[in-house]
A = this chain, B = another copy of it.
Amino acid sequence: MLSIDRVYVRTMTDIPESHPRYRSLMTREMLVRGVKDGIASMQGLIAQGRGEAFDYLLGEKTTESAMRAEKAAVALMMLAKRPVISVNGNAAALSAAELCELSRELNAPLEVNLFHRTEDRVARIVSLLRSKGCQIVYGDRPDRLIPGISHERARATSAGIYGADVVLVPLEDGDRCEALVKMGKKAIAIDLNPLSRTARAATITIVDNIVRAVPNMVALAKEMKGMPPSELGAIAEKFNNDMALAQALDEMMKNVMKARRNV
């Protein structure tokens, strides 16, 4: 599912495929490579580590509750007039090809938006996404500002995030997710920390690892193609974000308690 260039990665690490945490370790190496390639930032590596810890507590799997969130998210994006997918450095380093596939399935253009914005990094990510077959990638010529956040992070494109009605914001920071919701947009977050401001501010929070969530969403988008709007609406309506966050916390507590018994 991960688009790993194994030969390249192998030169950096000695992780055998049989290693029980192979996938987690490979994800980490992909991100280190992303920093070396000027795609991800060093702060992004720290954010990845935080996510890893929460993913570990979650059991490193897509829970049933997360799968329901992914389904509701796909329904919401299929119903949207102008859905857009926001892409930051970590999302690009970990899931460029999969995000492009999701973009095609949902007719949702991508927009590059960085917390630690540099024009060089924006250009590299735009070019990476185009190399994966994405037709429309916004972000290198922002023309508007999202109100309520600092200038560089506020930069958005009127044809992209600024004019969108539903925005998928994988691995977003809390401020920006709140600002998008305040603008009246529906925000779908992918965030492994159910206690984060992003997780609480979003319309739908997918508490799952991006490397599992995006391929799941691609599969769901294919399955749900042709579903009548009334059915999509029912799926989106039924979803309760507070309940999903509580379920993610319950899952983590259950896993911690199980581990505690083995201490």
| Residues of chain A at the chain B interface (Cβ within 8 Å) | 14, 28, 31-32, 35-36, 42-43, 45-54, 56, 150, 193-195, 200, 242, 245-246, 249-250, 252-253, 256-257, 259-260, 263
Contacts and interface: CB of A to CB of B under 8 A. Distances in A.
A177 to B, nearest CB: 16
The oligomer's copy count stands at 2
A69 to B, nearest CB: 14
A124 to B, nearest CB: 17
Contacts of A45: 42, 45-46, 49
A255 to B, nearest CB: 9
A45 B48 CA distance: 9
B246 A257 contact: no
A36 B200 CA distance: 34
A200 B263 contact: yes
Nearest to A28: B46
A204 to B, nearest CB: 15
5 contacts: A32-B43, A42-B45, A46-B46, A48-B49, A49-B50
A250 B43 CA distance: 30
B46 A52 contact: yes
Contacts of A31: 46
Contacts of A46: 28, 31-32, 45-46, 48-49, 52
